[in-house]
Structure 1
Amino acid sequence: MTPLTVDVHAHVLLPEVDALVADLPGFAAAREVEARRNGPAALAVSGTMVRERVPRLTDVSVRLAAMDAQGVDVQLVSPSPSHYHYWADEETAEKVHRRANEATAAHCAQAPGRLFGLGLVPLQHPALAVRALEHALEQGLLGVEISSHAPGRELSDPAYEPFWSRAEETGALLFLHPFGCTLDERLDRWYLSNTVGQPTENAVALSHLIFSGVLDRHPELKLIAAHGGGYLPTHIGRSDHAWTARSDAGAGCAHLPSSYLKRLWFDSLVHDPHVLRALITAVGADRVLLGSDYPFDMGTEDPVGALRAARLPDTDFDAVRGGNAAALLRLT
Structure 2
Amino acid sequence: MTEANQRIDMHSHFYGGGLLETLQSRTERPYLRTREDGALMMVAMNDEFEFTDQYHDHRVGLAEMQACGLTHRMLTFPGALGVELLPVDEIAGAISEYNTYLAHLTKSTNGALIGLGGVPLADMDLACAEVTRMRRDLGLPGFILPSNYFNSLAEAEELRPLLEAANEYGCLIMLHPGLKVDEPLPPRPGDNVQYRLSAIDLQASAAQVALTVILSDMLDEFPNISFQVVNLGGTLPFIFERMESIARHRTPNDPFPTDRLRRLWYDCASLGPRALEAAVKLFGADRVMLGSDYPIFKDDPHAHALVPADLGAAEKQQIAWKTAHDLFASLDALRAARIHTMEQVESPV
TM-score (norm 2): 0.77
Partners of 1:151 and 1:256 in 2: CA distance: 19
1:14-41 alpha-carbon deviations (Å, 9 max, x no partner): 272254366567x44899xx98974xxx
Give the conservation status (yes or no) of the 8 Å contact 2:45–2:82: no
2:148 matches 1:149: yes
Q: How do residues 269-284 of structure 1 correspond to structure 2 at under 5 angstroms?
A: 269=269, 271-284=271-284
1:186, CA displacement in angstroms? Answer: 2.4
Partners of 1:86 and 1:23 in 2: CA distance: 16
Pick from 216, 239, 244 the counterpart of residue 235 of structure 1. Answer: 239
2:188 matches 1:185: yes
2:9 aligns with 7
Letter matched to residue 90 of structure 2: T
1:204, CA displacement in angstroms? Answer: 1.9
Partners of 1:155 and 1:96 in 2: CA distance: 30
For residue 227 of structure 2, give the secondary structure of its aligned residue in structure 1.
strand
Pick from 69, 83, 102 the counterpart of residue 104 of structure 1. Answer: 102
Letter matched to residue 207 of structure 2: A
Letter matched to residue 212 of structure 2: H
* Cα gap change, 1:315 to 1:279, in 2 (>3 Å): same
1:314, CA displacement in angstroms? Answer: 0.5
Give the conservation status (yes or no) of the 8 Å contact 1:122–1:128: yes
Pick from 9, 17, 30 the counterpart of residue 19 of structure 2. Answer: 17
Give the conservation status (yes or no) of the 8 Å contact 2:143–2:172: yes
1:162 aligns with 161
2:303 matches 1:310: no
Q: How do residues 207-218 of structure 1 correspond to structure 2 at under 5 angstroms?
A: 207-218=211-222
Partners of 2:185 and 2:150 in 1: CA distance: 10
- Identical pairs, percent: 24
Q: For CA contacts below 8 A with separation 6 or more, give which structure has more relative contact order.
A: 1
For residue 311 of structure 1, give the secondary structure of its aligned residue in structure 2.
coil
2:180 matches 1:176: no
Give the conservation status (yes or no) of the 8 Å contact 1:6–1:322: yes
For residue 49 of structure 2, give the secondary structure of its aligned residue in structure 1.
helix
Gaps of 5+ in 2: 33-41, 333-349
* Cα gap change, 1:101 to 1:320, in 2 (>3 Å): same
For residue 67 of structure 2, give the secondary structure of its aligned residue in structure 1.
helix
Letter matched to residue 53 of structure 2: P
1:233, CA displacement in angstroms? Answer: 3.4
Give the conservation status (yes or no) of the 8 Å contact 2:11–2:291: yes
Give the conservation status (yes or no) of the 8 Å contact 2:265–2:288: yes
* Cα gap change, 1:278 to 1:98, in 2 (>3 Å): same
For residue 223 of structure 1, give the secondary structure of its aligned residue in structure 2.
strand
2:291 aligns with 291
1:75-115 alpha-carbon deviations (Å, 9 max, x no partner): 11112225542442243342243133123333433312211
Give the conservation status (yes or no) of the 8 Å contact 1:143–1:173: yes
TM-score (norm 1): 0.81
1:153, CA displacement in angstroms? Answer: 8.2
